[in-house]
Structure 1
Amino acid sequence: MILIDADILVYRIGWSCNEESEKTAISTIDGFISDILLQLNVDEETDYYVLYLTGKGNFRKEYAVTAEYKGNRKDKAKPVHIQALRQHLIDKWAAVVTEGEEADDAIAIQATVHGDKAIMVTLDKDFDQIPGWHYNFVKQDKYYVKPEDGLRFFYRQILMGDRIDNIIGIHGIGDKKSEKILKDCVTEKEFYDKCVEMYDGDETRVIENGRMLWLRRYEGEIWSFNEDKE
């Protein structure tokens, strides 16, 4: 099962064709999708693949306290053909539009359901918290994320935050430093406790960031640390 992050495609093709005609933009995105499926040896007519687009509403906004979730994107320009491309993906490619959650969540849920039979197709690093097969269509790189590596990446995200989504992390902590801080952690409790320590004991900040950053594994899930599952 091929799970495609169509949000990435719409923006990537949208910007590359921003000064082109709508017809050219649509033709380009069709060719791009066909090329991705070809790279993965997927038959467009018979094999199972799904494109996902983010629709209205986002549960994360209810839990954002420190800063408005994606509040830094309000005034940013969007590709001219974004709506035409989205509608085309719905009409021609039967793209699924999410409601109340992001396309990322829908993909993560299906990846969890289908396990190693699924391949997540995206350029979004946030997906590295999800165990399973991943495919970077620019690098043409297929790679596997183990559960323990996905969990480690998620807790590193809690420390780093995410500038793109306006999730505030700890100042001065990036990829290398977050990896170093958590290098000796093995269990989830150890990861969690270390993050609380780095936030000077402010557990609410750890929980807030966790809820912003966690990609759902089942419908309606809201992340929380549960010591009983250790």
Structure 2
Amino acid sequence: MKSLILVDADWIAFQMSSACQFPFRCHDGVWMPFAKEDDVFKAIDERMEYIKEQTGAKKIVMTLSSTDNWRHRFMDTYKGNRDPMNRPVALKAAKQYIAKKYTTLTEPGLEADDVMGIYATDPNWMPSYRKIIVTIDKDLKQIPAWHYNPEGDFEPWKQDTHDADALFFVQALAGDMTDGYSGCKGIGVDTAAKLLDDEPFVWERYEHVFKSGKRAGEKEMRWRKAPAENRYEQALSFYLKAGMTEDDLMNNGAVARILRHGEFDFKTNQTTFNTRELLEVMK
């Protein structure tokens, strides 16, 4: 089967415009970042030729983020820690070049990640091609599709649905501070991932009565483990134990989600998935 690569053009534009930027000393002693557009454009083309060769792709489709972002409806701090001044000076020109030179997909309200996730899992879009997601972003492993990371993979590989869903659970609990959402207090990636090794459990509060000693007869509230019906109940219990709310879980889970086919209504520009339902049906 012929291969098609869905490329994170936000990353390509940023990486190549950064690589071609260098400091320039003006005559008055002021230093400024400097880049030649032609060098940036050449670097983009060379990078894409390399990726095309490594994947054996016959077709390239670049994905660029929209200026607006549906995740801000759930969390206004999402990516709010990004410094707009700390961007390569030729970044805008690089994106414009990509949009002009290559077949490019941009959808209102969507990040490039979501565009890749939706089209890679759409069985009716380019059905005669094996669609490969090309990015260095680990979050895209939430998508059950073919993947290729030019900085870590020797060849394309396929992510299965079980592992993709597991990564979503981990992100919903652990969050991602680089993207501006904290997840559950006190829960990191390793802790969240280890939970998936066993059957789901919840933390429940109970009243403990001291049997002896100076505090004999006194009562205090403690936490203990109890069986859970599904991963949603488990995730919620961790949030509640940390003094957080169900809304915190729903919002963190929402912004953590990389969209798949059927999870976005292009007519209303609204997401159609539900964090609770996604976690409840996890295998």
TM-score, with length taken from structure 1: 0.88
Look up the SS of the partner of 1:51 in the other structure: strand
Which is further off, 51-60 or 109-118? 109-118
* 2:100 is aligned with 1:91: yes
Report how far residue 55 of structure 1 moved: 1.8
Counterpart secondary structure, 2:120: helix
Q: Deviations over 1:182-206 (max 9, x none)?
A: 32247x9622111101101622111
Are 2:75 and 1:24 aligned?
A: no
Does 2:178 correspond to 1:138? no
Gaps of 5+ in 1: none
Q: Gaps (5+ residues) in structure 2?
A: 23-34, 201-227, 266-270
Tell me which residue corresponds to 2:181. 167
Shift, 1:22, TM fit:
1.4
TM-score (norm: length of structure 2):
0.73
Match of 1:70 among 72, 79, 89: 79
1:194 aligns with 2:194: no
Q: What's the secondary structure of 1:88's corresponding residue?
A: helix
Paired position in structure 1 for 2:198: 184
Q: Which amino acid aligns with 1:122?
A: T
Partner AA of 2:164 in structure 1 = G
Partner residue of 1:121? 134
Q: Percent identity?
A: 30
Matches of 2:273 and 2:21, distance apart in 1: 38
Moved over 3 A (4+): 227-230
2:61 match: secondary structure: strand
**Is 2:184–2:249's contact at 8 Å kept on the other side of the alignment?**
no
Amino acid at match of 1:156: V
Figure out how many residues of one structure are paired with residues of the other and give that number.
223
- Deviation string 1:83-142 (CA, Å, 9 cap, x unpaired) is 110010011113222321111111101111148922111101111111121101112332
Query: What's the secondary structure of 1:193's corresponding residue?
Result: helix
Query: Compared with structure 1, are the counterparts of its residues 158 and 189 closer, same or farther at alpha carbon in structure 2 (3 Å cutoff)?
Result: farther
- Tell me if structure 2 keeps the 8 A contact 1:6–1:51: yes
Q: Deviation of residue 60 (structure 1)?
A: 0.8
The equivalent of 2:31 in structure 1 is none
Counting helix residues as a fraction of each chain, which structure ranks higher? 1
How much has 1:81 moved relative to structure 2? 0.5
Aligned twin of 1:158: 172
C-alpha RMSD of the superposition: 2.3
Larger Rg: 2
Report the structure, 1 or 2, having the larger strand content: 2
